[in-house]
Structure 1
Amino acid sequence: MTVLAQIASGFSGLILLTLSLLHFYWVFGGSLGKTKTIPADPQGKLAFVPGKAVTALVGILLFTAALCPLCMRVENVLSIPKNVFQYGCYFLSLIFFLRAVGDFKFVGFFKKIKTTIFAQYDTRFYSPLCVFLSFLLFLSACS
């Protein structure tokens, strides 16, 4: 694995782990930033209201996603072939790229609703982060 791929793997794993922990923070009652992370229409009606179970599931999925690039850095993790993690990184790279493109209504660079607080944060932070993660995960997989 090249040095660049190792750095990309470590950094993408750290970002995904941090996002996972943020979701668990919300599951256990935290509220910091929560109002800026749910899409809404211009009248303020939320696109969906995630419950604790869904938020915990997202946290678990993000934690599992963090394992793919991190396990790329080490050999023979639980006798799982390295190419499983490599394909996982390619898959995650695609998922985060698609998230950055968006659903053409609430999320992504091509969203129609652009005036809400979420939309502003999505344009400035969330979608660029998804492109960055997509790039890092692709670099991790290409090692």
Structure 2
Amino acid sequence: MTATDDLANLLPTADQLKQKAAAAQAEKAAEALRARTAEQTEKNALIERLSKPSGVSDEDALKRVAIVIQRAVSNGFTEVQVARFPNTLFTDRGRSINQQEAGWQETLTGLPKEMYEFWKRHLEARGYRIRYQIIDFSSGVPGDVGIFLEWS
């Protein structure tokens, strides 16, 4: 074996390195695509689940609300965020909520609508207020909507 043969085995050619780098970049891109696809699939499943009735009885919901409120009050709070939803659950993607337009509640669907109707039936007359607010402005546009329950 000659010194030239040793060098050929020890050091790959520039073309071989380019091919190896291209393969590594392609694998990174494929992995990123798989991750984005999995994330989108998970998000779609969540939106599908949130678009349907919860199946929680008013009695169970009242018990849950009482626990949340008692915990918040004991920590000195006068409001609590009770939920966060993607803006795709609103017929206008949260635009009327962001603009504080009259009739914004007509844009509610799925679980956000169920929560509003529960508040209307059981909590409004007891002096509780509900506030829907855009809480995420990723990319400069309205994103997730938070639902807050207030009592002060």
TM range (shorter): under 0.3
TM-score, normalised via structure 1 length: 0.25
Higher helix share: 1
Higher strand share: 2
Greater relative contact order: 1 or 2 (C-alpha under 8 angstroms, separation 6 or more)? Answer: 1
> Which protein is bigger by CA-based radius of gyration?
2
